[in-house]
Amino acid sequence: MIGQTPNRLQPRKPRPFDLGVSARWLEARVRPVIRRGPLSSRETALADRIKQLKKEAGSHSPSAPTILKMIPELRMRVDACFLSNPYATELFLDNLYREIIRPGKLRKLLEFYPSQNRVIADKLASGLGLSPDRLFIGNGAIEIIQAILHRFTGDKILVNLPTFSPYHEFVRPDTQVVYNVVRKQDDFQLDIGEYLQTVRREKPDTVVLINPNNPDGGYIPYAKLVAMLEEMREVPNVLVDESFLHFACEGDGFAYRSLTHEIGRFPNLMVVKSMSKDFGVAGIRAGYAVMAPERVKSLLDNGYLWNSSGLAEYFFDLYSRSDFQADYERKRVHYIRHTRRFFKALTTLPGVHVYPSHANFALVELRRDDLTAEDLICRLLVRRGVYARACDDKKGLEPGKFIRVASRTRSENRYILRALKEALRS
């Protein structure tokens, strides 16, 4: 997946996952083996192994590298399961190569302890224009989510469905999870009036809002979200997960608005942000949260001293720099532009409904009875090497009907579209 890093140790020959591989190149490689009609016995055997792997993976899909390791005969060409901006990954790798690997600084980064949590927070705070005592650095957002659920959440948490499953899976055994189902009839838009009624009725001590939401891409506009916070001042913990916010633009241009600057007004608010998706660096495990200083202190008194790796620290250094931010901004806008075109093209496919999304993935509903989501996923993977996600395990979605498709590079998206068209025809 390393792609076109200017690293002479890397072969230049395009490989699966290489960025910049043209759709034509992929087509030429794949065309000879494309068959129409039902899967052959060999293909069916592969599909059965994919289904088995998925079953063993529980509520997260096995990653593309895991699938390839377990089923080496599969030829995976596009990973439309992982929800990241591939252009941002390239940007990070370019910087890493130029500033760390080529000058021979990798050893130092890996041999020694990275800075402590507080020190990294100080550096990042200046880049984000935030007060450092409000920043908590995590080993991925997931560590912060666990920390909040285990340390601040009490006996009841309110979670919207469908959702990112750790929010209901990782609660303490004495925490009751109450669900608010967001309906497909509403295009997965949260009914705010109904939500606030549920909050008043159930009196949860923690509420979770993912904005934009995973897996449907539903979005609550900034002004509405702030109005909701006003109505929820009595709720002790309000967790807003902005892991996909960089893809959600509001108003003119491509600007996005983060709640991080509202922390001062809402002491109950905690904003969680993963770096994995918008910067395409899930492997370095980096995330942060913005919350009241007493909360940060309470977490740090409990541990998390050296919870970033040297690579994550280097990433946060980069992220704090204005030159990197300007480069990243260009990658972000470029990616959003063609992602929008991709989603529009998806809506023209027959027999499916594509829900409006403010994120970098689209939730697609199969509106036919002769094909299940899992069969479609297997067909895409076995026949075309396109890995998308069946959502059968997602609470709040009708099983067998939904898949989630991530936007990748432009040429990969073209390839995904063609693969879907072909798979839906049969």
Ligand X SMILES: *Cc1c(COP(=O)(O)O)cnc(C)c1O
- Tokens 């879907």 correspond to what residue? 420
CB of 274 to ligand X, least distance (A): 3
Q: Are 44 and 133 in contact (CB under 8 A)?
A: no
DSSP tag of 135: E
Give the nearer residue to ligand X in terms of CB position, either 21 or 312. Answer: 312
Q: For ligand X, which stretch binds (CB under 6 A), given 45-53, 180-188, 274-282, 294-302? A: 274-282
- The contact mask relative to ligand X for 325-364 (x = CB under 6 A, - = no) is ----------------------------------------
Query: Rule CB under 6 A: is residue 242 a binding residue for ligand X?
Result: no
CA distance 161 to 407: 23
CB of 66 to ligand X, least distance (A): 15
CA distance 398 to 419: 24
Site for ligand X in 252-271 (CB under 6 A): none
Give the nearer residue to ligand X in terms of CB position, either 20 or 166. Answer: 166
* Residues touching ligand X, count (CB under 6 A): 13
Q: Please report how the helices 293-300 and 141-151 are oriented relative to each other, as an axis angle in degrees rounded to 10.
A: 90
Query: Rule CB under 6 A: is residue 287 a binding residue for ligand X?
Result: yes
Give the nearer residue to ligand X in terms of CB position, either 77 or 273. Answer: 273
CB of 64 to ligand X, least distance (A): 15
Beta-bridge mates of residue 206 = 157, 237
Q: Are 408 and 370 in contact (CB under 8 A)?
A: no
Tokens of 220: 């609550």
Picking from 220, 247, 209, the residue whose alpha carbon sits closest to that of residue 361 is 247
Site for ligand X in 179-238 (CB under 6 A): 210, 214
Query: Rule CB under 6 A: is residue 137 a binding residue for ligand X?
Result: no
Sole binder of ligand X in the list 2, 282, 349, 371 (CB under 6 A): 282
Calculate the alpha carbon distances from 48 to 30, 39, 44, 207, 378 in Å.
22, 11, 6, 39, 8
CB of 275 to ligand X, least distance (A): 6
CA distance 154 to 357: 32
CB of 309 to ligand X, least distance (A): 13
Picking from 397, 407, 401, the residue whose alpha carbon sits closest to that of residue 346 is 407
Sole binder of ligand X in the list 26, 121, 142, 386 (CB under 6 A): 142
CB of 74 to ligand X, least distance (A): 24
Query: Rule CB under 6 A: is residue 164 a binding residue for ligand X?
Result: yes
Sole binder of ligand X in the list 160, 198, 276, 360 (CB under 6 A): 276
CB of 166 to ligand X, least distance (A): 7
Query: Rule CB under 6 A: is residue 392 a binding residue for ligand X?
Result: no
Query: Rule CB under 6 A: is residue 243 a binding residue for ligand X?
Result: yes
Picking from 135, 170, 174, the residue whose alpha carbon sits closest to that of residue 156 is 174
User: Could you tell me which residues come within 8 angstroms of residue 259 by beta carbon, excluding any fewer than 6 positions away?
Assistant: 222, 225, 226, 229, 240, 242, 269, 271
Sole binder of ligand X in the list 3, 140, 218, 385 (CB under 6 A): 140
When CB distances to ligand X are compared, the closest residue is 140
Query: Rule CB under 6 A: is residue 274 a binding residue for ligand X?
Result: yes
DSSP tag of 30: H
Give the nearer residue to ligand X in terms of CB position, either 210 or 416. Answer: 210
Site for ligand X in 10-49 (CB under 6 A): none
Tokens of 293: 């200083």
CA distance 138 to 135: 10
Picking from 423, 386, 424, 371, the residue whose alpha carbon sits closest to that of residue 35 is 423
Q: Provide the H-helix boundaries in 232-349.
A: 293-300, 310-319, 322-346
Query: Rule CB under 6 A: is residue 85 a binding residue for ligand X?
Result: no
Instruction: Tell me the one-letter amino acid at 374.
Output: E
Kindly list the residues in this chain that would bind ligand X in the complex (CB under 6 A).
140-142, 164, 210, 214, 241, 243, 274, 276-277, 282, 287
